[in-house]
Structure 1
Amino acid sequence: MLAIVAIFAVQLTSALSVPLIDVVGPGGAAWLRLSIGALFMILLAPPPLRAIRKRDVPVLLALGACIGAMSVAFLAAIERIPLGTAVAIEFLGPLTVAALRSGSLAKMVWPVLALGGVVLVTEPWAGEIDMLGVGFALLAGVGWGGYIVLLQYLGDQFEGSGILSITLPIAAVTAAFFGIPQASGQITLEVLAIAAGLALLAPVLLFILELAALRRMTATAFGTLMALEPAAALLLGLIILTQMPTPVQCVGIALVVLAGAAAQRGGRRDQPPLATGPVPIVSNDR
């Protein structure tokens, strides 16, 4: 239940970010959310600066930049294409990583199946596909895949809260390159209040829920549940944004969810001896 609530928390944050995007742009929305979220995380869990080794610095910088770029790209995608479509396309990133890390050539059938689902979701034959929006979603998927690899490496050195407290400020600085020009002159107390509320949902509440879930279940089971994200995005896109999917798009989402769940089978990773806590292997922060 904790994992399922976390799934809906991140997708709810994405859906509720759309009005904010209309005011400050996708870069501005990402920058404000990440900046306020970073402040919250630093207050809740001060960054363990003494635990940082020299060899960790480039990886921490890369992870922060990855989160920032991924956040901007995803919000730019949902500005142009439906939420469910954007998440389905973005999900190709972590699904491909899961298949590649399995070490089994047979596992590559799942990203191919998901790609087929994405084709059904985007319905290119209808002639109304926004290629720029699809491109942003694909870029976010690359960022999500990189996030998983880098987070897994750092998870063997830091607790999850420590990683976020260090990397979210870096992500905010990365997003600032796009966000400050877009949000300039549009920031009001109302905008800051909305951004703060969204930041509390993700990453703060999201991280608390995921960490609590991971303490009660295996990473493989958690990753399998996270495959429900495209379906959750489709549902919340319908309820909140009135984005009505076609029957073909629903079938496409089902294929992506099926592929995501199947790719996690047999993907359990033994806990490293020096690890200080469980690390999400599929979830992301947008």
Structure 2
Amino acid sequence: MAAASRPHLLPYAALMGAIVVLCVGTSFAKSLFPLVGAAGTTAYRVGFSALILLLVWRPWRHPLSRADLGRIAAYGAVMGLMNLSFYMAIRTVPLGLAIAIEFMGPLAVAVASSRKLIHFVWIGLAGLGLSLLLPIDPGAKPLDPIGVGFACAAAVMWALYIILGKRTGHLHAGRSVALGMTTAALIVAPIGIASAGASLFHPKVLLLGLVVAVLSSAIPYSLEMIALRGIPKRSFGVVLSIEPAVGALAGLVILGEHLAASQWMAIGAIVAASVGAILTTPANAMAEEIAP
């Protein structure tokens, strides 16, 4: 019986592994900020990820129409801006809270795709979570408004990423992501270079940047591909919704980011709203609602 359950549990273990590795990798990336800044770290993550994906998928072997190239270019541009906005956010906002705010993007898309009365409950719950991030708890450190603004921008970019990603759904997923990430790198790398300067090319820091890309993109993406083969998309989205809580724990353990009780409650409310929205959204509308 135990042996028979292992194949069923493997995809879920892979997805949990992807979430944990991603949060650990992002925490490690934040430790690079004093060396190359948030923009430089984003350039590492996106640039090295693009190189890895290009080597794996070799998309140049499959020519695309001009229309599809335009779709991928828009998809990749949003991908790059989403990564940059998120990394700019976690300069001053604790990791778990930044992830929770960013999750408002896919949550909005999930709710908008199926207008049910119950979805107003999830909107209200998410709004409650966001209100708990306001400086009303004397035990909570006030959040930097600029950092929160960048987290909100990342949420908008994630929503656009989902919408634009669906327009490339008829293409091979791996090759689309490789070309999209390459487009993202072409946008983000010049910003990172302008921000970090020559320090971005120091051999030791370059190696650390490669580690960030592997932990934040290559390994999580590979594990998610394994998970998607054995987990229904609805269940995939539900499990992925715990990422803000995992991010908060990673921030606490690795970065020493202590949150107030109200901030933990905010994360819980947003996670619950995300799970509720997914469970009450028709399966045929859930194809890519929470696809990172």
**Same fold? TM cut 0.5:** yes
1:163-174 matches, within 5 Å, as 163-174=176-187
Does residue 1:246 correspond to 2:254, yes or no?
Answer: no
Does residue 1:160 correspond to 2:198, yes or no?
Answer: no
Out of 222-231 and 159-168, give the one that drifted further: 159-168
Deviation (angstroms), 1:269: 4.2
Partners of 1:17 and 1:198 within 8 A in 2: yes
Match of 1:274 in 2: none
For 1:52, which of 49, 58, 64 is the aligned residue?
Answer: 64
Match of 1:90 in 2: 102
Deviation (angstroms), 1:142: 0.5
2:53, 2:117 → 1: CA distance? 40
Deviation (angstroms), 1:283: 3.3
1:111-190 matches, within 5 Å, as 111-123=123-135, 126=138, 128-155=142-169, 157-187=170-200, 188-190=202-204
Length-normalised TM-score, structure 1:
0.90
Cα gap change, 1:7/1:283 in structure 2, threshold over 3 Å: closer, same or farther?
Answer: farther
Secondary structure of the residue aligned to 2:131 is helix
Cα gap change, 1:171/1:142 in structure 2, threshold over 3 Å: closer, same or farther?
Answer: same
Partners of 1:219 and 1:268 within 8 A in 2: no
Counterpart residue type for residue 138 of structure 1: C
Does residue 1:261 correspond to 2:275, yes or no?
Answer: yes
2:280, 2:167 → 1: CA distance? 20
1:104, 1:55 → 2: CA distance? 34
Counterpart residue type for residue 139 of structure 1: A
For 1:283, which of 282, 285, 291 is the aligned residue?
Answer: 291
1:124, 1:15 → 2: CA distance? 27
Post-superposition Cα deviations, 1:51-95, rounded to whole Å, max 9, x if no partner, equal: 523322222111111111111111111001111111111111111
Structure having the higher Rg = 2
Match of 1:64 in 2: 76
Match of 1:275 in 2: none
Q: How many residue pairs were aligned?
A: 277
Partners of 1:7 and 1:226 within 8 A in 2: yes
Post-superposition Cα deviations, 1:266-285, rounded to whole Å, max 9, x if no partner, equal: 435449xxxxxx9754132x
**Which portions of structure 1, spanning 4 or more consecutive aligned residues, are displaced by more than 6 angstroms?**
none
Match of 2:239 in 1: 225
Length-normalised TM-score, structure 2:
0.89
Does residue 1:102 correspond to 2:110, yes or no?
Answer: no
CA RMSD of aligned residues (A): 2.0
Partners of 1:15 and 1:83 within 8 A in 2: yes
Secondary structure of the residue aligned to 1:79 is coil
Match of 1:196 in 2: 210
Counterpart residue type for residue 31 of structure 1: A
Partners of 1:85 and 1:118 within 8 A in 2: no
2:128, 2:160 → 1: CA distance? 22
Does residue 1:32 correspond to 2:40, yes or no?
Answer: no
1:108, 1:196 → 2: CA distance? 43
Cα gap change, 1:26/1:95 in structure 2, threshold over 3 Å: closer, same or farther?
Answer: same
Unpaired runs of 5+ residues, structure 1, are: 272-277
Unpaired runs of 5+ residues, structure 2, are: 1-12
Cα gap change, 1:57/1:104 in structure 2, threshold over 3 Å: closer, same or farther?
Answer: farther
Secondary structure of the residue aligned to 2:209 is helix
Does residue 1:237 correspond to 2:251, yes or no?
Answer: yes
Secondary structure of the residue aligned to 2:199 is coil
Cα gap change, 1:124/1:146 in structure 2, threshold over 3 Å: closer, same or farther?
Answer: farther
Cα gap change, 1:119/1:49 in structure 2, threshold over 3 Å: closer, same or farther?
Answer: farther
For 1:18, which of 30, 34, 48 is the aligned residue?
Answer: 30
Identity within the alignment, %: 30
